[in-house]
Chains A and B, each alone.
Chain A
Amino acid sequence: MQVFAGLSQERIVFGLALLLCILFAVALPGFLTADNILNLVRSVSILGILGVAMGLVVIGRGIDLSLVSLMAVSVAWTLSLIGRDMPLAEALAIGLVFSLFIGAVNGWLVGYVEVPAIFATLAMGTLVYGFGRYFLFDLDVVYMPDSALQILWLGQGKLFGIPVPIFVFAVVCLVGYLFLRYARSGRYLRAIGDNLLAARVAGVPARPIIVLQYVLSSLIGYIAGIVTAGSVASMNTRLAISTYVYDVILVVVLGGIGLSGGKGNIRNVIVGTLLIGVLLNGMTIMDIQYTVQNVIKGIILLTAIMIDTILNPRDEQTAQQGDI
């Protein structure tokens, strides 16, 4: 075991990402061009932002399967509001409030009603998508109206020659890191993820913190949604029922944030994002069929969960009834 002592999952994954990079660089013409690399990081930064949101929730021993669905619907609503000549700020505010509200409901369901997180958020994802399709918009794709061109800058603009989404990713990572490291509620969040009962006994206001973690994830999700909308000038609401949210989970689990909570940091998200980004980009360049990509991602995710289970075995003593 001495050999593996210095090897955390994080380092292994980072190593793998580098290895893949080199492999692709050698094998795939056009991979190691400045354009492609920037493109890679830009496209991956949205996944990374979502990864930070998911990471925060997972560290608190939760999971948010409604993340992508909520992002798609709230941003699509914002866009369609702008399309109906609502001022940009007002539309953004409405979308944001909607997003935060759903996040709070998620938190309430998990924290106060004690519905298993995975279940509450899965149902919420379906609910939010249904709500959007029924009440808010009729078409799958909501296009960005001309009056919202400021948003485009967030997705397509450049600062010092570097795409803006990368900056957004960096800022979100930094804020997330500071929150977990220095904010009292951030530390509480980790304590709850580590051992909910012990944290509660120690006086941590567990339920409000659980609500906070879902509100935070929906906030970050909204930011990611705006960046997405900015980069493709539209929002495809079918994203809500796609498998995109599992890519996010893949990022988090691969990066080394244990699903049993309490472990991991923002660094793990970055590393996971790199690996998945390289992988996705490589597969796209290799022109692998979309369905086959799904199979490959699924198998990688299964393997990651398996390794996660072996590394962080579930504690039967503290596992609760219904914790599935």
Chain B
Amino acid sequence: MAVSDRITRWRYRYVPDHLLGEILTKRWVDNAIPLLILLAVALVFGSLIPDFFGPASISSLMRQWGEFALIVLALMIVMVAGGIDLSVGSTFALGNIVALALLNVAEWPVAAVIVGTLACGAAVGLVNGLLVGYLRLRAFLTTLVTLIIVRAVVDMLLLKYSVAIAAAFVDSDFWYYLGEGYVLGLPFSVVVAAIVAIVAHLVLTRSRAGWHVLATGGSRRSAHNVGISVRRVICATYVVSGTLSALAGLLFASRLGGAGADTGVGLEIAALTAAVLGGNSLGGGRGSAAKAIMGSIIVMIMVNGLVRLGITRGGSSLLLGIILLAAVAIDVRWLKNRHKLLSKVYVSPTYAELPPAPATEGESPYALNDRLRPVEAIGLNRIDGPEDVILDEDDNIYAGNRTGDIVRFHAPDYSRQEVFAHVGGRPLGMAFARDGSLLCCIGGMGLYRITRDRKIEKLTDETNRSWFSVIDDSRLRLADDLDIAPDGRVFFSEATIRYEMHEWPVDCLESRGNGRIICFNPSTGVTRTVLKNLLFPNGICMTLDGQSFLFAETWACRVSRYWFDGPKQRQVETVIADLPGYPDNINRASDGSYWLALVGMRTPALDLALKMPGFRKRMARRIAPDEWMYPNINTGCVLRFDETGRIIETLWDLGGENHPMITSMREHKGYLYIGGILNNRVGRLKLAGVDAGWTGQRSYWGRA
């Protein structure tokens, strides 16, 4: 190996390029930017202002923050549902004056004051909700107008009651506790805000109501189409928002006990800045309590810091305006371009060297021939993409198709067909269990069982999650082929964990080893990954010793053997290291050897490209997917090999007329049945000189 090749290989083995793309797919990456801003702001103001985070300063800062955070949370809930509520500032002021008026002028008990104030806020929210939710007015303008109206009402109340409020004295410890008390060393308002934040978080992430809110914000029309009452959801968010704003006003009232004309003026701008800066999107669908909290802390620190630095009100509204504009601009551009960035960096090819391809002519065991020419077609044009074929004891053929059915062709002439079971997904590899039920790997769904009386049961659709994997690899994305050990354990391959089924060629371009082999144990119901980092593991076939299985790695052009039991437990041995094409399914033959399908043949250009990860990366970034280099799957063959890796025979279709593309084959009673994932037929070939009574099931499960 040349030095430069070695360097390239080391570089791609030890630098995890794929992590960047995987991190970008995570939702929590949205929180990273606000968190960085938060740290930066805290650092800057902490160093500019002496004692900014001292005990006295932090206590008053936190108490104010509790009220502010409630308002930001209120705004966040409305924004997540796709709306906006600018009236929060006025509702805050209304909550303040109403609480004071009820307490001082009407002389209600404190509990009743709380209820009355919250009801007042909820009423304002309800008006907004009815207008925006049910009458479908524009949220922005509507809440701007309610802002003005509520503000005018507050001014009117002020004129009427401010003198009485200032003159009265409240004789209630509980009231002062709201504004000045501590819970476990934390100011009361902070505790309230924390509780509201936790509840909001749980509701948004864990409850049906919260999911409805997120769905409505994500896509209003789709939410309506799936039966969510969009109008009610939107209305409800405004009611919640109004209530929370009034609660903040109440806390403010109990802290300061006075009403001024400028209470809550401009608060909506600060709250909006906080919400957007935290990463809650305008237009909805993206937002969380954590984002609201982060945004509120940032804005709180900045506004207070500016005041402490002696900068006047003009300066702070200038700064808020600039930050708001910048945050919104970043938000809009990030949302718009995130998927572009993702598609550019997600594909991360690595160094993959294949051994030299053996010849397919002359004395080579792979030499071309025309032995597949006499294949007869079953179900021609009546089946779309039988990836795998299997036959039961009564000689009926089963094959999956592209639309998620398992189709049965009835023996003996196979002219009659029916849908055996509609399972959905993309049925791929199949195997019969001891009791005659059909186990099937379904791309996009997992491992399923169809019993003899056609009952469809899910066996498993998840496995143990890797500790250090960034993407969630517990879900099965592309279960591919399976076989069943004598004790009933099911071993099945998952071709790739980084791509969906239709993106399989991209996995080849990457050649990273994203696949794995998983074991499902029906007696315990536990699913565990047994082998990881395989290059598109595909076919799986138990060997005759009952302790190991053979598996094919498509992009590695390799067949290996894994012992799951016995003295060589957990060992992997390569059986065939250098296939001339891409192996697919493996199945047992009647004489103790194995059939292997090659789905396509290697090409020198792609083989070379696999050693040039930089080249493939540039290709993936710069040109359209249609123009990328893909593995050739236009022609392939069937071959037979034994456990030592010796190739016994190879079957080709030279003209490419009957079966150019093969993903699977089964020997059954002297015939070979052939499936292909892009074919429109099942092939049947009469084999010469084989046991005409042999069936895979009987030989394996040993029943008559």
Q: Which of A113-169 contact B (CB under 8 A)?
A: 113-116, 118-120, 122-135
**Bound-complex Cα distance A28 to B82 (A):** 47
Does chain A have a CB within 8 A of B72? no
A305 touches B141 (CB 8 A): yes
Contact with A along B81-97 (1 / 0, CB 8 A): 01110000000000000
> Which residues of B lie under 8 Å from residue A11 when comparing CB positions?
none
Counting contact residues on chain B (CB < 8 A from A), the size range is 35 or more
**Bound-complex Cα distance A127 to B318 (A):** 4
A294 touches B145 (CB 8 A): no
**Bound-complex Cα distance A249 to B144 (A):** 11
> Which residues of B lie under 8 Å from residue A130 when comparing CB positions?
313-321
B324 touches A123 (CB 8 A): yes
Does chain A have a CB within 8 A of B131? yes
Contact with A along B331-343 (1 / 0, CB 8 A): 0110010000000
A295 to chain B: closest residue by CB: B152
**Bound-complex Cα distance A115 to B284 (A):** 14
Does chain A have a CB within 8 A of B139? yes
B320 to chain A: closest residue by CB: A126
Does chain B have a CB within 8 A of A301? yes
Whole-angstrom distance between the Cβ of A278 and the nearest chain B Cβ: 21
Does chain A have a CB within 8 A of B43? no
B325 touches A109 (CB 8 A): yes
**Bound-complex Cα distance A92 to B153 (A):** 40
Contact with B along A292-324 (1 / 0, CB 8 A): 101101110110011001000110100001111
> Which residues of A lie under 8 Å from residue B332 when comparing CB positions?
113-115, 322
B153 touches A295 (CB 8 A): yes
Does chain B have a CB within 8 A of A259? yes
Does chain A have a CB within 8 A of B23? no
Whole-angstrom distance between the Cβ of B142 and the nearest chain A Cβ: 6
> Which residues of B lie under 8 Å from residue A122 when comparing CB positions?
269
A301 touches B317 (CB 8 A): no
Whole-angstrom distance between the Cβ of B556 and the nearest chain A Cβ: 43
> Which residues of B lie under 8 Å from residue A129 when comparing CB positions?
314, 317
Does chain B have a CB within 8 A of A291? yes
> Which residues of B lie under 8 Å from residue A241 when comparing CB positions?
265-266
B136 touches A301 (CB 8 A): no
**Bound-complex Cα distance A139 to B495 (A):** 72
Q: Which of B156, B311, B336 is the one whose CB lies under 8 Å from A292?
A: B156
Q: Which of B138, B145, B265 is the one whose CB lies under 8 Å from A324?
A: B138
Does chain A have a CB within 8 A of B282? yes
> Which residues of B lie under 8 Å from residue A243 when comparing CB positions?
148
B273 to chain A: closest residue by CB: A123
A124 touches B282 (CB 8 A): no
B138 touches A126 (CB 8 A): no
Whole-angstrom distance between the Cβ of B573 and the nearest chain A Cβ: 54
Whole-angstrom distance between the Cβ of A324 and the nearest chain B Cβ: 5
B328 touches A119 (CB 8 A): yes
A314 to chain B: closest residue by CB: B136
Given contacts A130-B321, A316-B221, whether A259 and B314 have CB atoms under 8 Å apart is: no
**Bound-complex Cα distance A301 to B152 (A):** 14
Q: Which of B55-93 contact A (CB under 8 A)?
A: 82-84
B282 touches A324 (CB 8 A): yes
Does chain A have a CB within 8 A of B183? no
**Bound-complex Cα distance A115 to B326 (A):** 10
> Which residues of A lie under 8 Å from residue B151 when comparing CB positions?
294
> Which residues of A lie under 8 Å from residue B145 when comparing CB positions?
246, 298, 301-302, 305
A322 touches B282 (CB 8 A): yes
B137 touches A309 (CB 8 A): yes
> Which residues of A lie under 8 Å from residue B131 when comparing CB positions?
302, 306
**Bound-complex Cα distance A127 to B317 (A):** 6
B282 touches A316 (CB 8 A): no
Contact with A along B268-301 (1 / 0, CB 8 A): 0100000000000111110000000000000000
Q: Which of B618-644 contact A (CB under 8 A)?
A: none
B314 touches A124 (CB 8 A): no
Given contacts A131-B314, A301-B145, A321-B283, whether A113 and B333 have CB atoms under 8 Å apart is: yes
Given contacts A113-B332, A123-B324, A130-B315, whether A306 and B135 have CB atoms under 8 Å apart is: yes
Whole-angstrom distance between the Cβ of B150 and the nearest chain A Cβ: 9
Does chain A have a CB within 8 A of B419? no
B137 touches A306 (CB 8 A): yes
B86 to chain A: closest residue by CB: A122
Whole-angstrom distance between the Cβ of B326 and the nearest chain A Cβ: 9
**Bound-complex Cα distance A322 to B314 (A):** 29
A294 touches B282 (CB 8 A): no
Q: Which of A124, A131, A289, A306 is the one whose CB lies under 8 Å from B325?
A: A124
> Which residues of A lie under 8 Å from residue B141 when comparing CB positions?
63, 118, 249, 259, 305
Contact with B along A276-296 (1 / 0, CB 8 A): 000000000000010110110
| Most chain A beta carbons < 10 A, residue from B142, B146, B318, B329 | B318
**Bound-complex Cα distance A321 to B284 (A):** 8
**Bound-complex Cα distance A130 to B324 (A):** 13
Q: Which of B82, B136, B285, B321 is the one whose CB lies under 8 Å from A309?
A: B136
Does chain A have a CB within 8 A of B10? no
**Bound-complex Cα distance A135 to B138 (A):** 35
B317 touches A115 (CB 8 A): no
**Bound-complex Cα distance A127 to B148 (A):** 20
A105 to chain B: closest residue by CB: B325
Does chain A have a CB within 8 A of B322? yes
Given contacts A130-B315, A306-B135, A309-B136, whether A323 and B321 have CB atoms under 8 Å apart is: no
**Bound-complex Cα distance A188 to B84 (A):** 31
B282 touches A116 (CB 8 A): yes
Q: Which of B223-265 contact A (CB under 8 A)?
A: 265
Does chain A have a CB within 8 A of B524? no
Contact with B along A79-115 (1 / 0, CB 8 A): 0000000000000000000000000000001000111
**Bound-complex Cα distance A316 to B328 (A):** 23
Contact with A along B117-132 (1 / 0, CB 8 A): 0000000000000010
Q: A126-B318, A241-B265, A298-B146 are in contact. List 17 more A-B contacts (CB 8 A).
A: A109-B325, A114-B336, A126-B324, A130-B316, A133-B315, A241-B266, A259-B138, A259-B141, A294-B148, A298-B152, A299-B149, A301-B145, A305-B137, A309-B137, A322-B284, A322-B332, A323-B283
Sample of 18 A–B contacts (CB below 8 Å) = A109-B329, A113-B332, A114-B332, A122-B269, A126-B317, A130-B318, A133-B315, A291-B155, A291-B159, A294-B148, A295-B149, A295-B153, A298-B149, A305-B142, A321-B283, A324-B82, A324-B139, A324-B140
Q: Which residues of A contact B (CB under 8 A)?
A: 63, 109, 113-116, 118-120, 122-135, 241, 243, 246, 249, 259, 289, 291-292, 294-295, 297-299, 301-302, 305-306, 309, 313-314, 316, 321-324
- Give the 4 A-B residue pairs with the shortest CB-CB distance, closest first: A133-B314, A127-B321, A322-B283, A130-B318
